[in-house]
Amino acid sequence: MPLREAPGDLPALQPSPGRPFGLYVHVPFCFIRCGYCDFNTYTPAELGGVNPDAWLQALGTELELAAARLGGPSVSTVFVGGGTPSLLGGERLARLLGMVRDHFVLAPDAEITTEANPESAWPDFFSATRTAGYTRVSLGMQSVSPRVLGVLDRIHTPNRSAAAAREALAEGFEHVSLDLIYGTPGESDDDLLRSVDTAVDTGVDHVSAYALVVEEGTALARRVRRGELAAPDDDVLAHRYELVDARLSDAGMSWYEVSNWSRPGGECRHNVGYWNGGQWWGAGPGAHGYVGATRWWNVKHPNAYAELLAGGTLPVSGFEQLDSDALHTEEVLLKTRLRQGLPLDRLGDAERQRAQTAVADGLLVSEGERLVLTPRGRLLADGVVRTLLG
Ligand SMILES: C[S@@+](CC[C@H](N)C(=O)[O-])C[C@H]1O[C@@H](n2cnc3c(N)ncnc32)[C@H](O)[C@@H]1O
Ligand code: SF4
């Protein structure tokens, strides 16, 4: 069937040549929903018609339409996230990457990441994805404490995450990342330190550590509201962040974004693209894209997504054109959180004056022509951004 796009679904896109271009693919499947998670993901019981193969076919159509829209920019990073990409298995993820290559030109040194859950990623998975050309794997570890994993509804055993990371390294992945969550109700300092040490001991080159966010509408939020669990305490979260940072720094990992640490060369280039003015196409249900000054987002439900693509229509739900004010806010918000800092020349006169106040308060430091968060500033990054923007 000839492909057709509904008129008005997305304005003409003009990728800016100087900005790196990435591709994000959203896999909307999970075995169960963890109580804290509000990502756009569905368990088998929540899905009617769409199975992983039907979704993959729809994705292929979206990639074909995307390539026709974009006029073939060279893709420097691919990130397959979720949801749980490892639920697809290595063979389907290999097919997925093959479809990307059918429609896009990947840079010779492209970074190609897949997320994976410890309970659905085993040596054959890592071997198949590595052989297919994936260069990086990001595993959701969260904690090694059985108590914490229980509160988070994680279904893997405490030891499985570190074992999976070691297996990924043994199968030839040079870049492996582990995600941690800190501040879960019932977590102790010792639980967290054991988790960080276990992550470091595996030999991975990247760790992300996120403060637990109680997202509205989740099972965790309901439990907090009923008084079954205490909400994470800000002072405890700040202390735990300092523990994570100290332990990772001692182990030779440096922060390059407020929630991300790596060994030299282990930074996630795809995510740096998001934070540093890059452009990307977001494929899959609910995925967001950003090209030129246009941001758009896809329909969220996998069934609606597949139906639109079966009719040859881009599954876009809405879009916006960012004006210069919105672009500036976004730049300050994202670059302030990076270790390389915010270039001073991006700020107006009033903002520079407010920046001096933040410097005097010990939240920012000037490094040459850039403003960089201090350790205390990293704990209060959102407030620093608000101060700068006035
Ligand atoms: C959307 S998940 C996808 C990865 C994978 N499905 C997994 O769970 O391992 C990416 C990461 O976001 C983090 N995350 C998700 N919801 C969070 C929340 N409410 N608070 C803090 N971190 C969260 C977790 O660390 C998780 O590993
Ligand atoms: S945290 Fe990961 S495994 Fe859990 S529901 Fe969210 S995406 Fe799925």
Distance CA 38, CA 362 (A): 35
3-class state of residue 176 by DSSP: strand
How close is the Cα of 206 to the center of ligand 2, in Å?
Answer: 20
The parts of the chain modelled with pLDDT lower than 50 are 1-2, 4, 7-8
Distance CA 31, CA 254 (A): 34
Task: Assess whether the C-beta atom of 36 lies below 6 angstroms from ligand 1.
Answer: yes
* pLDDT confidence of residue 15: 86
Atom of ligand 1 nearest to the CA of 36: 19
Angle at the Cα of 233 (from 229 to 237), degrees rounded to 5? 120
- Sheet containing 279-283: give its strands across: 254-257, 260-262, 206-211, 175-182, 136-142, 105-116, 74-82, 21-27, 279-283, 288-291, 294-298, 316-321
* pLDDT confidence of residue 6: 53
3-class state of residue 311 by DSSP: coil
* pLDDT confidence of residue 18: 85
Site to substitute for ligand 2 among 26, 32, 36, 41, most atoms within 8 A of C-beta: 41
- Give the closest residue (by CA) to ligand 2 atom 4: 34
* pLDDT confidence of residue 107: 96
- Give the closest residue (by CA) to ligand 1 atom 27: 140
- What is the Cα 248 distance to its own chain's centre? 20
How close is the Cα of 107 to the center of ligand 2, in Å?
Answer: 30
Task: Assess whether the C-beta atom of 143 lies below 6 angstroms from ligand 1.
Answer: no
Alpha-helix runs per DSSP H in the chain: 52-70, 89-103, 123-132, 146-151, 160-170, 189-201, 219-225, 234-250, 269-275, 302-310, 324-335, 349-360, 375-379, 381-389
Read off the pTM: 0.96
Site to substitute for ligand 1 among 181, 258, 288, most atoms within 8 A of C-beta: 181
Q: Which of 184, 183, 182 is nearest to 153 (CA)?
A: 184
Distance CA 332, CA 327 (A): 9
Model confidence pLDDT, tens digit, residues 75-98? 999 999 999 999 999 999 999 999
Distance CA 189, CA 203 (A): 22
The token duo for 17 is 């040549």
* pLDDT confidence of residue 1: 37
Task: Assess whether the C-beta atom of 332 lies below 6 angstroms from ligand 1.
Answer: no
Atom of ligand 1 nearest to the CA of 34: 8
Q: Which of 62, 66, 56, 135 is nearest to 88 (CA)?
A: 56
How close is the Cα of 178 to the center of ligand 1, in Å?
Answer: 11
Task: Assess whether the C-beta atom of 37 lies below 6 angstroms from ligand 1.
Answer: yes
Pocket of ligand 2 (CB under 6 A): 30, 33-34, 37, 39, 41, 82-84, 117, 140
Q: Which of 105, 113, 103 is nearest to 133 (CA)?
A: 113
- Give the closest residue (by CA) to ligand 1 atom 17: 37
How close is the Cα of 180 to the center of ligand 1, in Å?
Answer: 8
Task: Assess whether the C-beta atom of 113 lies below 6 angstroms from ligand 1.
Answer: no
Site to substitute for ligand 1 among 179, 214, 218, 241, most atoms within 8 A of C-beta: 179
Distance CA 134, CA 25 (A): 13
Phi, psi at residue 42, to the nearest 5°? -135, 140
Site to substitute for ligand 1 among 120, 141, 195, 210, most atoms within 8 A of C-beta: 210
| CA torsion, ordered 249, 109, 101, 280, to nearest 10 deg | 60
Site to substitute for ligand 1 among 37, 42, 87, 260, most atoms within 8 A of C-beta: 37
| β-strand partners of 116 | 139
* pLDDT confidence of residue 194: 98
* pLDDT confidence of residue 46: 86
Task: Assess whether the C-beta atom of 84 lies below 6 angstroms from ligand 1.
Answer: yes
Atom of ligand 2 nearest to the CA of 140: 2
Model confidence pLDDT, tens digit, residues 158-190? 999 999 999 999 999 999 999 999 999 999 999
How close is the Cα of 87 to the center of ligand 2, in Å?
Answer: 11
Ligand number nearest CA of 118 is 1
- Give the closest residue (by CA) to ligand 1 atom 16: 37
Going by their DSSP bridges, the two strands 105-116 and 136-142 should be labelled as parallel
